[in-house]
A and B are shown apart, each in its own frame.
Chain A
């Protein structure tokens, strides 16, 4: 069953009804036993009273009543029946009501009593007490007789009382269960209200609204862990969403500028009749921008892959010198154009585990260095191998302060000076490097010392 509230009401209700049933039955049994005990006592008393009306003389048994019917009719509403036999079972006399009763002869000691219920046919039953006694004798010569006197009375009044008791037990019990269930429902509803409130709050929670939180103040202590977990989740969600939004906005911004460039070039090309040479010029410029856009998109994709966790591929050791020569190759022409001096110090034997990632990091760092070094300055790549491998890429002519250099690792951040190449360098390179290095369990730091921009990557060697 789905509803906690209905489950609670039903289970407690059934338990209450069972308990009430057992208690009602017990009460009924107690009352019944008590009533029959009283009836038995009263019958026994009456039997003993009757024995006082019998006497044994020389002639035999003398009864102090003339007509047995007198005794039976003494109380017309509730007749007393009696039956007198000898201990051996010979019939002596009886009230008319018991004359025909076939009744097993009880085996009891003298002075004792035996109880029995006599079914008289139909619904009528009698409660009977049999007393074995010796009537008092006129003189001592008379041989004592042992007699059995049965006194009986209808159980109908007792059963009626019991029926009355049952009625009241059922009525009170039933009413109790109904009222109890109602009360129970109210209590359960009241006590589960915080749950319902929480559920409604969660349902109506607009996660698009920043800083949406569930209020903890009114939550009962059992719900607090749930609520606080939820709130923590909301906070994480919000942080992730903000980061995503900023990243998307940054990415869109970075793509817009070169797109605007291409569009402007092409619209200009088509705005009037142009010579073939002019068209070629526009096409060449547009191509350059398109290549720049491709670089931005590639870095964005790399970052997205990093976020998705598909990063490094299977580790496989690769000769470092070969790898780093490849990393430098795309930048050699530009370095030459800008008359930069390039020097690399790479140990002959060093190897790395994640060549693709290391290649991307180093080539990005070298690209930055070539772009931002001062004209005629220098770019260096130093590698130190040991338990871990350290790559240090540096360039002269850094125009950043050390603080700005730290911020340079944020996505899309660019200093004024670095904006010369807007649209070509989206300010993603260092972010990508840092994430890749972190994925390799390494560390990535940047600093500016004496006008030299220094990027240091340390990754475990094995």
Chain B
């Protein structure tokens, strides 16, 4: 899953970015509204964490501009403003969730997961594809009841594909949602990680290659 964090206060931004990266998310960051807006329009983020009081372009204006442009990213407003008015205004402008500072990092993670589920029309936090179970809250994977050890990046790739079971996922989509601008890898790295995943998931052939199109995660039995 790919996130954008737009927050001008460095300690908060750094912490959020690091925390989500450690969980395997691809995270980009912006310290002001202008940069945030530019990034949000360049890439397909699953969730944008947006502060309201931002230099250059105010958070509300960022949100309005994004919604006017039809950007599909879920937006979570993260702000020190806690009045009901501010929340209503934020949500009515097109935000999907609202969290006030100070916040618990765990809650932010949980809300982001909920937004991701909603984006991919999932209601159950456990994704199931045949014998494969992915607990998105615990970020753990079991295959036939046995735990599969995955790195954060492998997990992110598998979760992204599991949100769209039976659908062709292109390399570019994987690239867009699993890797952030910081990654120095090329798109070949997608093939490499798919290879790792296949190995760890055993010979069940849950992931198939559709030549010239992409990959499908599917239970073929």
Contacts and interface: CB of A to CB of B under 8 A. Distances in A.
Contacts of A411: none
B27 to A, nearest CB: 13
A249 to B, nearest CB: 8
A418 to B, nearest CB: 8
Interface string B5-24: 00011111011101100100
Interface in A418-434: 419-420, 422-423
Interface of B: 8-12, 14-16, 18-19, 22, 53-56, 80-81, 100-106
A272 interface: yes
Interface stretch (A24-32, A45-53, A54-62, A252-260): A252-260
A109 interface: no
Contacts of A263: 102-105
Interface centre among B81, B101, B103 (most CB of A within 10 A): B101
A194 B209 CA distance: 90
Nearest to A424: B9
Contacts of B12: 257, 260-261, 264
A232 interface: no
B105 A256 contact: no
A136 interface: no
B80 A419 contact: no
Contacts of A256: 80, 100-102
A422 B8 contact: yes
B84 to A, nearest CB: 13
Interface of A: 252-253, 256-265, 267-268, 271-272, 285, 288-289, 416-417, 419-420, 422-423
Contacts of A264: 11-12, 15-16, 19, 102-103, 105
A263 B12 CA distance: 9
A260 B19 CA distance: 14
Contacts of B8: 419-420, 422
27 contacts: A253-B80, A257-B12, A257-B80, A258-B9, A260-B12, A261-B9, A261-B12, A262-B11, A263-B103, A263-B105, A264-B11, A264-B12, A264-B16, A264-B19, A264-B103, A264-B105, A265-B15, A267-B104, A268-B105, A271-B19, A285-B11, A288-B11, A416-B55, A419-B53, A422-B8, A422-B53, A423-B9
Contact of B22 (A253, A271, A285, A288): A271
Contacts of B14: 265, 285
Given A253-B81, A285-B11, A419-B53, A260 B22 contact: no
Nearest to B58: A416
A328 B104 CA distance: 39
3 closest A-B pairs by beta carbon, nearest first, are A261-B11, A260-B101, A264-B15
A295 to B, nearest CB: 15
A268 B103 CA distance: 12
A57 to B, nearest CB: 131
Contact of A259 (B16, B22, B81, B102): B102
Q: Count chain B CB atoms within 10 A of each CB in A259, A417, A420, A422 and give the residue with the most.
A: A422
A256 B100 CA distance: 9
A1 B16 CA distance: 71
Contact of B102 (A260, A272, A417): A260
B19 A420 contact: no
B104 A257 contact: no
Contacts of B53: 419, 422
B55 A268 contact: no
Given A416-B54, A420-B8, 16 more contacts: A252-B80, A257-B12, A257-B101, A258-B9, A260-B102, A261-B12, A263-B105, A264-B11, A264-B16, A264-B19, A264-B103, A264-B105, A272-B22, A288-B11, A416-B56, A417-B55
Contacts of B100: 256
Contacts of A420: 8, 55
B102 A271 contact: no
A259 B101 contact: yes
A132 B212 CA distance: 165
A218 B102 CA distance: 52
A90 B100 CA distance: 129
A289 B11 contact: yes
Contacts of B106: 267
A209 B55 CA distance: 36
Contacts of A423: 9, 11
Nearest to A259: B102
Given A253-B80, A256-B80, A268 B104 contact: no
Contacts of B55: 416-417, 419-420
A258 B7 CA distance: 13
A259 B18 CA distance: 18
Nearest to A270: B105
Contacts of A261: 9-12, 15
A265 B80 contact: no
Contact of B9 (A268, A271, A422): A422
B158 to A, nearest CB: 20
A260 B14 CA distance: 12
Contacts of A271: 19, 22, 105
**Which of A253, A259, A268, A272 has most chain B Cβ within 10 Å?**
A268
A54 to B, nearest CB: 120
Nearest to B104: A267
Contacts of B104: 263, 267
Count chain A CB atoms within 10 A of each CB in B16, B22, B105 and give the residue with the most: B105
Contacts of A260: 9, 12, 80, 101-103
B50 to A, nearest CB: 14
A399 to B, nearest CB: 10
A256 to B, nearest CB: 4
B12 to A, nearest CB: 5
A384 B80 CA distance: 43
